[in-house]
Amino acid sequence: MRLIDNLIALPKFLSPERLQCFRTEVSNCRSSADRVHIPGHKRGETISYKRLRLHTKEIVAFYQSSELRGLISEIAGLEVKPTPLRDQSSCSVLIYDRPGDHIGWHYDYNFYNGRHFTVLLSLVNEHLFDQCLSSAKLLVKKPARHEEIPTPANTLVMFEGVRVCHQVTPLGECERRIILSMTFCADPTTTPLRDLERRIKDTAYFGLRALTT
């Protein structure tokens, strides 16, 4: 398996039992989520890596596992590692559950010295009453067109964020979309300036407290 146009999608990634375990862990720590609204760009909730480490044993073990690291390294074509504990976006949960929740066009900028990859695992993507997917779409910007990347629950999507401009369109009424977001890097060292830039970026997900992480 290799990235095609810097992206790959793998459906039915987890066993049903493991997927349900992750959903339960997220539900149990939902009260620790930070809701952020940046007009014109982003609205939604995020559970940080720090809080996941306190409340989600199985999710954190999955992110840190040699099994997952080996797969991501194989796909990337180079050895990668999880990004540091202090990076609150290393492993986080993105929650969109109110009408209009979304994130606009953006790149996942790299604040580290090695190549940096974003890995998204869809935990929930549903209309609450119609037994269908939510209307929110993961779109990738291509020359002259926008490509939709299907993300039904249990789909893993990996891409090199600095090379892939993407967005999630606004959620509709009575819908939910919950994503486990993970990052891996070939060389997770950085500089003080780039680390400050990372913390400033993270205010879009965790509010001003991200500046102290």
What is the mean pLDDT of each successive set of 10 residues along the chain, which is 213 residues long? 91 98 97 91 94 97 98 97 94 97 95 96 95 96 93 98 96 97 95 79 68 63
1 domain-assigned = no
- What gap in Å lies between CA 110 and CA 91, rounded to an integer? 15
Q: SS3 helix, strand, coil % of the chain, rounded to 5?
A: 30, 30, 35
Distance CA 29, CA 18 (A): 17
Q: Residue 128 domain-assigned?
A: yes
Closest CA to 113 of 162, 61, 157: 162
Res 46: pLDDT: 96
pLDDT given at position 159 = 97
d(CA 84, CA 79): 16
- For residue 145, what are the β-bridge partners? 142
Report CA-CA distances (Å) from 157 to 16, 89, 98, 167, 179.
18, 16, 23, 14, 10
- Residue 207, pLDDT score: 67
**With contact defined as beta carbons under 8 Å apart, do 183 and 90 qualify?**
yes
DSSP 8-state assignment for residue 14? S
* pLDDT for the residue numbered 199: 77
Residue 72 resides in a domain: yes
Q: What is the CATH number of the domain that holds 93?
A: 2.60.120.620
pLDDT at position 51, please? 95
213 falls within a domain? no
Domain that holds residue 37: 7-208
189 in a structural domain: yes
Domain count, the chain: 1
